[in-house]
Structure 1
Amino acid sequence: MSETPAPGTPRPQRPRNPVTLPAEPRPGYTAVARVLRPHALRGELRVEVFSPTARNIQRGRPVYLQGIRRVVERARQAGDDWIIKLSGLDTRTQVEHLHGELLEALDSDVLRDDSESYFIYELIGLEVVTASGESLGTIVDVLQPGANDVYVVHGERGEILVPAIGQVVREINLGARRVVITPLPGMLDESP
């Protein structure tokens, strides 16, 4: 028989297991999704996909989970998320501990939505310069408020919000680690 705490006494809480989320994919790999939680009983996973078309988690696509190569056996959209089944994972017990894990694809295997599609983690740390050559700082975050993304740039002028639209962003060069922009009128006037 267990003891019941006196009225007004807080009940002891079970210790929570902190979840350590991988910050970025391994070198040579691109993160294509993140595991949210198990789904049902047969090893399926609910995942957050990092591209609108989810091309990299479709049936037959190879992905890596915790460094182990798996093949997507089934994939279906469930609201904003996707439910997927990976080869070799057949029970809920096998997938219960995977919350927060990245699904990765080899860089050479990644299917991009189009030639101008980038993953957010690829943009973080890129230098932002104006078309005239002035360095504005580096991208530290990408906001997704709605119609277009917004790059949060930190540099000598402080924080600058750069709308990711065609009339502003002229070039994104991942190899050179640089984004060239043409600022909108007044965009830089608010900076110190």
Structure 2
Amino acid sequence: MSAGFVELGKTLKPHHIKGALKAQLEEGYVPSLEAAAAVFIEHQGQKIPFFLEELESGKTWIIKLEGIDDRNQAEQWSRKMLYLREKDLLEGAAPISGLAFDFLIGFHLLDEELGDLGEIIDLIELPQQEMAVLNIEEKEVLIPLHEDLIVEILEAKKQIIMQLPEGLLDL
């Protein structure tokens, strides 16, 4: 956490053509986000303020920020960390404990290069991150569910698309 700020989540990919972004948000901070004057996106070491125009709920949230009005602008702000000022947190706001990705059990994990790797059958929580458990060729394989590797979560299709490092499945 940066001094005076709390990590709210991360922007993902642009959503449609009008500048909205998909985002992963810490559920416990959403009421504070809705009440806050501004949300901050980290860019080149700076926290840039944006006014929130719209917020749509879901496992993958859709946020529309003032001044980001088309897909090209949204692309510049994708895959960035989101913050709120600590002073904007509502009383009692806190991260919700538990596994952040537990809703992914039963989803199919797709790699951008390799395609469908199989169904996520379980999640394991390790000190630094959560791991998806898959059976690939009768072998239990652990895949790190790190936000930098997640490209998109397609809840309606029950799919998570990831960009896995080369050689990860060879371990």
Which structure has more RCO (C-alpha within 8 Å, separation ≥ 6)?
A: 2
**Based on CA coordinates, which of the two structures has the bigger radius of gyration?**
1
Greater share of residues in helix: 2
Greater share of residues in strand: 2
Q: TM-score, normalised by structure 2?
A: 0.49
Q: TM-score, normalised by structure 1?
A: 0.44
